[in-house]
């Protein structure tokens, strides 16, 4: 069965893959709490992440320990942050996307079914490629789950969260089942209500210039990041398709070379060899663009949404505060339920001020992180593109030298 | 022009069966034939490959046209000499340029004789090229010459790979056709016999070409379909040819294999062209998106870097477009040409089978005539006996002729295949090198662009 070869647990992540990846967020990790995903196992329809923690904090029983977690448990943790009123003033680190191997699995299955219709070499070649693709997706999902945990661990308040500690330490299953249909439907309606409310809240002009600017900025930024993310995906897909074509061309050239009895067979064989190598480089280019560009954009799509959510919560608190003020004035005017109105107003005021205070810092930090991440990734992207182009050039030039020498 | 051929060698016999008019009478519309498909089932198709007189073409027998023996000696000479015909300094060297029809109201066709420095410039319509090919095919295929096939009439490529909308744009289509016509004509004049053919000379030099009303214009695909039909007919022959010469069997198998692989390769390259164009479009789209993102980014340095990324990607999209162009005109078109050429080669092998078959039939008939004569010897019918003896003489001549024809076509094919293979090797070597050079250029440009961008990315503070 095709799947068996992919279920190698411990050996799946090579040495270089261990350790914090945090590619999209330039995080300061300190010794008091370090979290990473040291291992991962892919089974039929789920992925098991080994979450490894190193900590000097007294909260934990040991200094170093590991637990196994699944995607649903990450989501549970994320949702618990979102629902926690105390964290309303923070940008909640975005939840990692669900591991999606469906497309890859389908391709592998189709390949297995079509095994009889192709030569052994073609089959082996394609199998290797699909396995590489599967591995790439796998690495990505590990990275994204890890980034989430690192963001939490780096946050001065969230890192102290009890649920987070349970998540890290409790070595049994958290028994967090995925949402059932009813709950998913409830979520759906909640979101509808929230976005409708969001529109109303966003319409309220903020006296504070900083937040007013942030609101405008984030709205536009989020939409443009979304567009850039979609377009970069398309570009990378075309790149992969072209690399696949070159692969097929290389194979056919090889056959032509072996069949041909004339002088030109040398050319065919040499070029076939060349294309085998260059298409591997082209595939790597696509993969690197995916990691450094597409993933970066996708991450900041999610983070900018989380930032927007923060602004929404603050806006909501502001509206509540203003409404509470109006209610208090009314109560005083009528001299009825004044104490109650005063209490409500005070609560709203505190809530609003608490959120505003931390929100400002959170948004500034968001900008810092964003700039650092883009810088890192754009530099790495350019360096990789250069490396691959130079590699390609060298292969092409040396092949040309051989062929020209022959004529 | 050689004197052994009368000036008009194509009879336009209006008494023959109803001719299908393929040429478009509309002067202005150059693209009227653009999507016209050649009908397969019209009976006029057959005459080109069959022997004997037909209404549309002059009965061409080996004794009437430029004698193969004379041609053969020319071949031998050219084969003995240096491989590269360019170095001959012979009358074989002709440089052909076909230019954009928009400018001169017809495809401008310039031929420059590199030896004598004589140059002719004429205007030709697409149908004129097809007409030329049909004449040459009818004259030479049945004696074993590989006549280069004319370009495709229809827009859809031979491998029927789905191509984007861009390919249907008239500018691209015209350029495709122009380039194909130039290659077609160049291949035609590279053939030592065809270069000297009066129809070819007339095509290249005469200001006005006679309106060949009844010429059956066949595209490369048309020839291919006909060849397949002929091959089917050959397979149905009850007498299987005794291949005494292993060379022919070997070569046929080789061409069969080559055909399969070239088609496969052609399909993959067409797919590459398609994806490369797609990549170019998607890169341009991403570039715009990145520019927009840069605009909305409120950190100044990052905003600038993103705008520069957008510029880099825009340049890269141009690069992809140029590469797709090279993929197509260098690689894909060569493969397409050779797929069609191999169809012509196969056609010629089938002609040999037919020639053999004709010879065998003659022998069979002679045998029968002899038997009939023997019977008549005891029948006491002196005039019938004389007739039988005359018929025997007639068929003996035919048998001899059949044997000669078969030997001649076999000889011609050997020479043609030798010439063809040399040309094939040369063509592929040249194109492969040019193509790799285009790939080198692309990588060099990519390096330039990313090297310029890197410091901009590092400057983000």
Using CB atoms, which residue from A253, A262, A278 is nearest to B421?
Answer: A262
- Above 90 in pLDDT, residue B272? yes
Strand order in the sheet with A33-42: A33-42, A47-55, A64-70
Q: How far apart are CA A87 and CA A69, in angstroms?
A: 24
Instruction: Give A352→chain B minimum CA distance, Å.
Output: 26
Cite the residue boundaries of each domain of chain B with CATH code 1.20.1270.60: 260-460
State whether residue A7 is helix, strand or coil. coil
Cβ–Cβ gap A253/B272 under 8 Å: no
Q: What is the pLDDT of residues B243-263, one digit of tens each?
A: 667 889 899 999 999 999 999
Res B236: pLDDT = 54
User: What is Dmax (Cα atoms) for chain B?
Assistant: 119
Cβ–Cβ gap B296/A262 under 8 Å: no
| A365 sits in which H/E element | helix A338-406
Res A164: pLDDT = 94
The set of residues, in sequence order, having a beta carbon less than 8 Å from that of B306 and lying 6+ positions away, is: A374, B290, B291, B293, B294, B297
Res B240: pLDDT = 59
Q: How far apart are CA A147 and CA B237, in angstroms?
A: 75
Res B299: pLDDT = 93
- Above 80 in pLDDT, residue A100? yes
- Above 60 in pLDDT, residue A372? yes
Residues B450, B451, B454: CA angle, nearest 5 degrees = 80
Using CB atoms, which residue from B272, B301, B458 is nearest to A242?
Answer: B272
State the distance between the two ends of chain A, measured CA to CA, in whole angstroms: 49
Q: What is the pLDDT of residues A156-191, one digit of tens each?
A: 999 999 999 999 998 877 777 666 777 778 777 777
The most confident of the ranges A259-263, B51-55, B237-241, B410-414 is B410-414
Q: What is the pLDDT of residues B378-408, one digit of tens each?
A: 877 788 888 888 889 999 999 999 999 999 9
**pLDDT category of residue A253 using cuts at 50, 70 and 90:** very high
Note whether B246 and B315 are within 8 A (CB). no
Res A191: pLDDT = 76
More confident residue, A208 or A36: A36
**Which residue is closest to A396 within chain B, CA to CA?**
B440
Q: How far apart are CA A348 and CA A106, in angstroms?
A: 53
Q: Give me B8's structure tokens.
A: 């008009």
Note whether B340 and B149 are within 8 A (CB). yes
Instruction: Give A400→chain B minimum CA distance, Å.
Output: 7
| Packed helices B300-326 and A338-406: angle between N→C axes, nearest 10 degrees | 40
Q: How far apart are CA B50 and CA B38, in angstroms?
A: 19
- Above 50 in pLDDT, residue B123? yes
Note whether B364 and B398 are within 8 A (CB). no
Using CB atoms, which residue from A252, A262, A404 is nearest to B268?
Answer: A252
Phi/psi region, residue A337 (left: phi>0; alpha: psi -120 to 50; beta: rest), is left
Cite the residue boundaries of each domain of chain B with CATH code 3.30.1520.10: 92-214
The two beta strands, B94-99 and A47-55, are unpaired
Q: How far apart are CA A296 and CA A232, in angstroms?
A: 11
Q: Give me A59's structure tokens.
A: 């909260």
- Above 80 in pLDDT, residue A401? yes
The set of residues, in sequence order, having a beta carbon less than 8 Å from that of A162 and lying 6+ positions away, is: none
Q: Give me B425's structure tokens.
A: 């090797």
Q: How far apart are CA B295 and CA A227, in angstroms?
A: 13
Number of A to B CB contacts under 8 A, please give it.
161
Which positions in chain B touch A220 (Cβ < 8 Å)? 296
pTM: 0.78
Note whether B127 and B33 are within 8 A (CB). yes
Q: How far apart are CA A271 and CA A254, in angstroms?
A: 8
Q: How far apart are CA B342 and CA B256, in angstroms?
A: 9
In CATH, the architecture of B260-460 is Up-down Bundle (1.20)
Which positions in chain B touch A264 (Cβ < 8 Å)? 424-425, 428-429
Which positions in chain A touch B429 (Cβ < 8 Å)? 263-264, 267, 403, 407
- Above 50 in pLDDT, residue B206? yes
Note whether B167 and B325 are within 8 A (CB). no
Which positions in chain A touch B447 (Cβ < 8 Å)? 386, 389-390, 393
State whether residue B98 is helix, strand or coil. strand
| B103 sits in which H/E element | helix B101-104
Res B17: pLDDT = 39
Res B56: pLDDT = 35
Q: What is the pLDDT of residues B14-27, one digit of tens each?
A: 343 333 333 333 33
CA distances from A375 to A21, A24, A247, A364, B301 (A): 16, 10, 34, 17, 10
**pLDDT category of residue B13 using cuts at 50, 70 and 90:** very low
- Above 60 in pLDDT, residue B159? no
Q: How far apart are CA B323 and CA B326, in angstroms?
A: 5
- Above 60 in pLDDT, residue A196? yes
The domain made up of B92-214 has a fold known as PX Domain (3.30.1520)
**pLDDT category of residue A94 using cuts at 50, 70 and 90:** very high
More confident residue, A211 or B37: A211
Using CB atoms, which residue from B439, B443, B457 is nearest to A382?
Answer: B457
Q: How far apart are CA A267 and CA A402, in angstroms?
A: 9
User: What's the complex ipTM?
Assistant: 0.86
Which positions in chain B touch A271 (Cβ < 8 Å)? 432, 436
- Helix residue ranges, H only, A67-119: 71-83, 102-113
Q: What is the pLDDT of residues A104-152, one digit of tens each?
A: 888 888 888 877 777 787 788 888 888 888 888 888 899 999 999 999 9
């Amino acid at each position: 069965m095709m799947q068996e070869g992919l279920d190698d647990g411990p050996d799946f992540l090579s040495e270089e893959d261990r350790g914090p990846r945090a590619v999209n967020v330039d995080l300061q990790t300190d010794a008091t709490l370090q979290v990473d995903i040291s291992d991962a196992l892919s089974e039929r329809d789920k992925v098991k992440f080994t979450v490894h923690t190193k900590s000097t904090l007294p909260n934990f029983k040991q200094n170093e320990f590991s637990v196994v977690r699944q995607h649903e448990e990450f989501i549970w943790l994320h949702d618990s942050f979102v629902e926690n009123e105390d964290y309303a003033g923070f940008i909640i680190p975005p939840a990692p996307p669900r591991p999606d191997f469906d497309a890859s699995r389908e391709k592998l299955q189709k390949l297995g079914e079509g095994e009889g219709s192709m030569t052994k070499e073609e089959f082996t070649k394609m199998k290797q490629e699909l396995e590489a693709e599967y591995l790439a997706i796998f690495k990505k999902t590990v990275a994204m789950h890890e980034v989430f945990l690192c963001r939490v661990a780096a946050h001065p308040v969230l890192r102290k969260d009890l649920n987070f500690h349970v998540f890290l330490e409790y070595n049994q299953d958290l028994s967090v089942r995925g949402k059932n249909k009813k709950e998913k439907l409830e979520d759906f309606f909640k979101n509808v209500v929230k976005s409708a409310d969001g529109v109303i809240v966003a319409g309220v002009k903020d006296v504070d210039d900083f937040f007013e600017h942030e609101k405008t900025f984030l709205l536009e930024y989020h939409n443009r990041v979304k567009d850039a993310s979609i377009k970069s995906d398309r570009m990378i897909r075309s790149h992969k398709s072209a690399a696949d074509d070159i692969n097929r061309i290389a194979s056919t050239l090889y056959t032509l070379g072996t069949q041909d009895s004339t002088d030109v067979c040398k050319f065919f064989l040499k070029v076939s060899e060349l294309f085998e190598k260059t298409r591997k480089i082209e595939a790597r280019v696509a993969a690197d663009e995916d990691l450094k560009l597409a993933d970066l954009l996708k991450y900041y799509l999610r983070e900018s949404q989380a930032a927007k959510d923060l602004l929404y919560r603050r806006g909501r608190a502001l509206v509540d505060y203003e409404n509470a003020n109006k209610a208090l004035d009314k109560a005083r005017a009528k001299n009825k339920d004044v104490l109650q109105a005063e209490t409500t107003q005070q609560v709203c005021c505190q809530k609003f001020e608490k959120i505003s205070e931390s929100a400002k810092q959170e948004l500034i930090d968001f900008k810092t992180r964003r700039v650092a991440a883009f810088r890192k990734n754009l530099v790495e992207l350019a360096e990789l593109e250069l490396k691959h182009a130079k590699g390609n050039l060298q292969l092409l030039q040396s092949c040309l030298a051989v062929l020209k020498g022959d004529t | 022009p050689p004197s052994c051929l009368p000036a008009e060698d194509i009879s336009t016999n209006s008494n023959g069966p109803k001719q299908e008019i393929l040429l478009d009478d509309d002067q202005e519309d150059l693209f009227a034939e653009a999507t016209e498909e050649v009908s397969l089932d019209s009976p006029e198709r057959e005459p080109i490959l069959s022997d004997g007189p037909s209404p549309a073409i002059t009965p061409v027998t080996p004794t009437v046209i430029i004698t193969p023996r004379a041609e053969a000696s020319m071949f031998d000479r050219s084969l003995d000499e240096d491989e590269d015909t360019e170095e001959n300094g012979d009358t074989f060297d002709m440089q052909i340029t076909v230019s954009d029809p928009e400018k001169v109201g017809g495809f401008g066709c310039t031929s420059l004789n590199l030896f004598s420095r004589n140059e002719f410039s004429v205007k030709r319509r697409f149908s004129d090229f097809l007409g030329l090919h049909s004449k040459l095919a009818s004259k030479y295929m049945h004696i074993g010459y590989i006549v280069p096939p004319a370009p495709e009439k229809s827009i859809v490529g031979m491998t029927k790979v789905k191509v984007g909308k861009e390919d249907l744009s008239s500018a691209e289509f015209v350029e495709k056709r122009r380039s194909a016509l130039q290659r077609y004509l160049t291949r035609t004049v590279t053939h030592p016999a065809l270069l000297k053919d009066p129809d070819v000379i007339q095509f290249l030099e005469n200001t006005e070409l006679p309106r060949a009303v009844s010429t059956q214009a066949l595209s490369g695909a048309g020839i291919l379909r006909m060849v397949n039909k002929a091959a089917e007919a050959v397979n149905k022959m009850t007498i299987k040819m005794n291949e005494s010469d292993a060379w022919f069997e070997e070569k046929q198998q080789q061409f069969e294999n080559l055909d399969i692989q070239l088609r496969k390769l052609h399909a993959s390259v067409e797919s590459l062209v398609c994806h490369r164009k797609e990549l170019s479009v998607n890169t341009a789209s991403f570039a715009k998106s990145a520019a927009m993102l840069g605009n909305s980014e409120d950190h100044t340095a990052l905003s600038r870097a993103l705008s520069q990324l957008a510029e880099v990607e825009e340049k890269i999209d141009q690069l992809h477009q140029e590469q797709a162009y090279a993929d197509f005109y260098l690689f894909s078109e060569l493969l397409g040409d050779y797929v069609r050429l191999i169809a012509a080669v196969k056609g010629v092998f089938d002609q040999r089978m037919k020639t053999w078959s004709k010879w065998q039939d003659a022998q069979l008939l002679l045998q029968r005539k002899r038997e009939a004569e023997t019977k008549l010897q005891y029948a006491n019918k002196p005039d019938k006996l004389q007739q039988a003896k005359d018929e025997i003489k007639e068929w003996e001549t035919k048998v001899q002729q059949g044997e000669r024809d078969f030997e001649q076509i076999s000889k011609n094919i050997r020479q043609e295949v030798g010439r063809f293979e040399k040309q094939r090797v040369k063509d592929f070597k040249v194109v492969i090198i040019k193509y790799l050079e285009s790939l080198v250029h692309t990588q060099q440009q990519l390096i330039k662009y990313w090297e310029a961008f890197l410091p901009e990315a590092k400057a983000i503070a």
